[in-house]
Chains A and B, each alone.
Chain A
Amino acid sequence: KQEVTQIPAALSVPEGENLVLNCSFTDSAIYNLQWFRQDPGKGLTSLLLIQSSQREQTSGRLNASLDKSSGRSTLYIAASQPGDSATYLCAVQGGSEKLVFGKGMKLTVNP
């Protein structure tokens, strides 16, 4: 059974820092990996999707990498801003066609 882990569960940093968020998964047989953002009391917003054949994806200040063989992905946030404060969730899709989510990491960027 696929398990997705995000450590740490929470992170508080000063504005301007470059950040690395980690995601690990137990079964490397995945089709894709997705990173989402969730603001308090809101739905999820898709940030980046990496297909299994890709190594990384970039969108603005965000860069996500995927190492399928080691079961790891990282989300890199450059020059963090208070508006980046949210919970970030990682999810993988495997052969069952369903997404398996991590529990998320709550990020606080202090001005």
Chain B
Amino acid sequence: DGGITQSPKYLFRKEGQNVTLSCEQNLNHDAMYWYRQDPGQGLRLIYYSQIVNDFQKGDIAEGYSVSREKKESFPLTVTSAQKNPTAFYLCASSIFAPGRGGTDTQYFGPGTRLTVL
């Protein structure tokens, strides 16, 4: 059964802690993305990666870090430097097609809801 999985579904963080959100895909997609969703704000891009061992900052990368050691995995770490991390985090992937403007349809995981205690 192909798709994108995210874990955990719910995550609670204490002040000063780093936490890591998992994202795995078995769609053989080259590109992967992390978005943050806040009520009334829409989706904002945190980081994206178009190839293994390479990633780019999105619009709101401060306080976050990522790695892309394997094609199927793109974990996101929310560091203590992120002052307002409570949000719904969504991971997505797509075929990277430079000849067609870069990307195809993005497929999303079920999301992780992070709450700061």
A binds B: yes
How many residues belonging to B are interface residues under a CB distance threshold of 8 Å?
28
B105 touches A98 (CB 8 A): no
1/0 contact string of B96-117 vs chain A (CB within 8 Å): 0000111111111111010000
1/0 contact string of A71-111 vs chain B (CB within 8 Å): 00000000000000000010101010111011110000000
State the majority secondary structure of interface residues on A.
Answer: strand
Selected interface stretch from B12-20, B36-44, B61-69, B76-84: B36-44
Q: Is A42 an interface residue (CB 8 A)?
A: yes
Most B CB atoms within 10 A — which of A36, A51, A95, A99? Answer: A99
A41-B111, A43-B111, A45-B108 known; A99 and B101 CB under 8 Å?
no
Q: Is A49 an interface residue (CB 8 A)?
A: yes
B42 touches A99 (CB 8 A): no
B109 touches A43 (CB 8 A): yes
- List A residues at the B interface (Cβ < 8 Å): 31-32, 34, 36, 41-46, 49, 51-52, 89, 91, 93, 95, 97-99, 101-104
- List B residues at the A interface (Cβ < 8 Å): 4, 6, 33, 40-45, 48, 50, 58, 88, 90, 92, 100-111, 113
